[in-house]
Amino acid sequence: MGNVYNSLVEIVGAEYVSNQPEETFFYSRDPGLSEPHNPDFVVMPKTTEEVQKIVLLANQEKIPIVPMGGSLTLSGLCIPLKNGIVLDLKRMNHILEINEQSRYALVEAGVSHGVLQSYLNRKHPRLMHSAPDAPPMNTVAGNVAIHGSGHLSQETGFHSEMVQGLEVVLPTGEICYTGSCSVVPKWFARAPLPDLAGLFLGWLGTTGIMTKLSIRLYPKPLKKDVLMFVTENPDYMPDIIYNVTETKMAEDVNLFAQPKPDWAEGFQHTVINITGNSEEEMSFKRRLIRRSLHKYIHNKVGGFMFVLPMIKPGMMEAPMRTLSNFADVEKGGGFEYIGVIIPTENFPILYRDAIQIAEKYRPKWSIMCRVIGRGHSMMFSYAWPFNRADPDDMEMAKKALHESNISGLKSGGVIWKPEVEGQRMMMEAMDPHTLKLLQTIKKTLDPNGIMNPGNWEAK
């Protein structure tokens, strides 16, 4: 490994390579419950060329590489299951271009959502991007790579759908481009070319390393408000989602249910964010949304809660700072969730399952969901906090996660950003030809099996 170390130093400089116990400890784990695996090296490249050289070295030495952004998936996707090199991409942090007219942002892989948001607020206040709920250190590239979603997803889909172009270092070291930028200088569209971006989205870093990407930006409205609709029966939810999304008035639609605070237990809360450029527009949108749920109000089975003005800003910020507080519910610094992408009509099944799992394992829990597209699907999450200082508590949380994976699949969903166990379950359930195609693509792109090995590996 001495040669490898020296080679890495030659590529990025000694101050950006570490095989020290401090780094190998920290980068061996993430804030979730996955077992730690030590990397041999943690490397921080600055340019695509450096990434390329590292990949070539890794092929030569047959060392695994794990690309890493914010490492905030909580599913252990940046943990080096087979050791090797963790490539912390956050030094590649330039915002390269904001194209106002065509509304896209071209960024390096290490640009975080927080920095992009701040940059747009200051320099391009008419534009915004879709911000996930993950903390702001979460990278744009990392989030699209796992098909993340955010506050604009109800209008416009998964974040992967917002990708206009990629620069990728293939596992064999070539630098490739997808989308319009592969033909012309601007990164403004994926269509009408064969959609090569799909080779890198959802693959959990097993098919290449994104080094640059272009994502869609959207007009930024001047005003925002939030409504919260409360029900006591989960069976209403599919219809509620259908009606609200049918109005096309909401920017973001989320649902949550949890036992704490005590007034929340037993209720489903549909949080509807609306935005606009005038009070007239806002008033109009509020009215249409309320009308869309009129039958529930009329029958007294659903109603809009009065949201205190001091609570609203926190509910409307993206990302929501308070979401991270969930990790401290057990005063334990941890939570992990299983996210399942489901058709909205399956919500009641998963909801009831989640309550049952909670009754078995976790007195404190949370169901958090986001509607994607105009109700084309939803991200349903079973979130379990745990106490990092209590091994028994962590074991219970792992059991809850395991049963959540089973429940999610059984109930007709597809596990989002699955950890290894979730991947295994999905591959077992997967159509065999599809699975074969998946493996073929991986093998073709990564003949030496160096890219985040251990992920998407069928037995």
Of 90 and 151, which CB lies nearer to other proteins in the complex structure?
90
**Nearest-approach distance from CB 50 to other proteins, in angstroms:** 13
- CB of 137 vs other proteins, minimal distance in Å: 3
Q: How far is the CB of 414 from other proteins (least distance, A)?
A: 27
Q: Give me the least distance between CB of 53 and other proteins, in Å please.
A: 18
Residue number, 50 or 446, with CB nearest to other proteins: 50
Q: Give the sign of the dihedral formed by CA 65, CA 68, CA 110, CA 162.
A: positive
Is the Cβ–Cβ distance between 69 and 141 less than 8 Å? yes
* 3 state SS for the chain: CHHHHHHHHHHHCHHHEECCHHHHHHCCCCCCCCCCCCCCEEECCCCHHHHHHHHHHHHHHCCCEEEECCCCCCCCCCCCCCCCEEEEHHHCCCEEEEECCCCEEEEECCCEHHHHHHHHHHHCCCEECCCCCCCCCCEHHHHHHCCCCCCCHHHHCCHHHHEEEEEEECCCCCEEEEEHHHCCCCCCCCCCCCCHHHHCCCCCCCCCEEEEEEEECEECCCEEEEEEEEECCHHHHHHHHHHHHHHCCCCEEEEEECCCCHHHCCCEEEEEEEEECCHHHHHHHHHHHHHHCHHHHHCCCEEEECCCCCCHHHHHCCCCHHHHHHHHCCCCEEEEEEEEEECHHHHHHHHHHHHHHHHHHCCCCEEEEEEECCCCEEEEEEEEEEECCCHHHHHHHHHHHHHHHHHHHHCCCEEECCCHHHHHHHHHHCCHHHHHHHHHHHHHHCCCCCECCCCCCCC
* Nearer CB in complex with other proteins: 71/254: 71
Those residues whose C-beta lies under 8 Å from the C-beta of residue 207, and which sit 6 or more positions away, are 170, 171, 199, 200, 441, 442, 445, 446, 451
Nearest approach in angstroms of CB 120 to other proteins is: 11
- Count other C-beta atoms under 10 Å from residue 165's C-beta: 24
Cβ proximity to other proteins: between 25 and 35 the closer is: 25
Q: Tell the smallest beta-carbon distance from residue 324 to other proteins (Å).
A: 4
What is the rounded CA–CA span in Å between residue 340 and residue 400?
14
Residue 356 CB, nearest approach to other proteins (Å): 22
**Which residue lies nearer to other proteins by CB, 290 or 352?**
290
The smaller minimum CB distance to other proteins, of residues 50 and 161, is found at 50
Report the residue number, 54 or 197, with the smaller CB distance to other proteins. 54
203 or 229: CB nearest other proteins: 229
**Looking at beta carbons only, is 324 or 439 nearer to other proteins?**
324
CB nearer to other proteins: give 36 or 238.
Answer: 36
Q: How far is the CB of 262 from other proteins (least distance, A)?
A: 6
* CB of residue 386 to other proteins, shortest distance in Å: 11
Nearest distance from residue 231's CB to other proteins, in Å?
5
The residue (of 231 and 407) whose beta carbon lies closer to other proteins is 231
Tell me how far, at minimum, the Cβ of 31 lies from other proteins, in Å. 5
